[in-house]
Structure 1
């Protein structure tokens, strides 16, 4: 059986490169994180679940987090709308506040959860 992932990673990269803040994968280096007061981190290796629309469809989670130590804002609805062009389907968002481990600065993290379709083909 073959699997066709509909995520358009090239389009995701294009959209994120147009954002005001830098973005990194989960393998970001410590200096990249410390040097930037606000940034995005993404992971495309999320949970996979069975789709409800078709017996040969699966949904994989894709997480995008915006982290700020300077009280910057991100427009979740606008960004999630842009990311539909990368074939990401917005599910939800959540915000948390805490302290940045390296500097003890107040930090806010907005986590956006998306899914993308993976189709099983014979």
Structure 2
């Protein structure tokens, strides 16, 4: 059996490059965090579950978080709509308030949750 992932990571990065804040993957360094008061971070390696509607498909979670220390705002629904072009399906968002450990600065994190389809077949 072979698998085809519908995620268009290049398109995701292209869309995010058009946003006002830098984008990092989960290998972000401490100096990048310190240098940017607001930024996006993503993880494409989420858990995989069988799709309910099709037994030949799986859904893999994809997480995009916006972290800000200066109360910057993003339009969650507008961004989620743009990311459909990268084959990401928006499943919801969460908001958390906290403090950065090293600086004790107040911070807010908006997490956007997505899934993308992985098809299974004998191509």
What TM bracket, shorter-length normalisation? Answer: over 0.9
2:58 matches 1:48: no
Aligned to 1:16, what secondary structure does the other structure show? helix
Shift of 1:3: 0.3
TM-score, normalised on structure 2?
0.98
How many matched pairs?
Answer: 122
Structure 2 spans left out of the alignment, 5+ residues: none
Partner residue in 2 for 1:68: 68
In structure 2, distance between residues paired with 1:92 and 1:26: 20
TM-score, normalised on structure 1?
0.99
Structure 1 spans left out of the alignment, 5+ residues: none
Shift of 1:32: 0.5
Q: CA RMSD in A?
A: 0.5
Shift of 1:53: 1.5
Shift of 1:101: 1.3
Map 1:33-112; keep pairs closer than 5 Å: 33-112=33-112
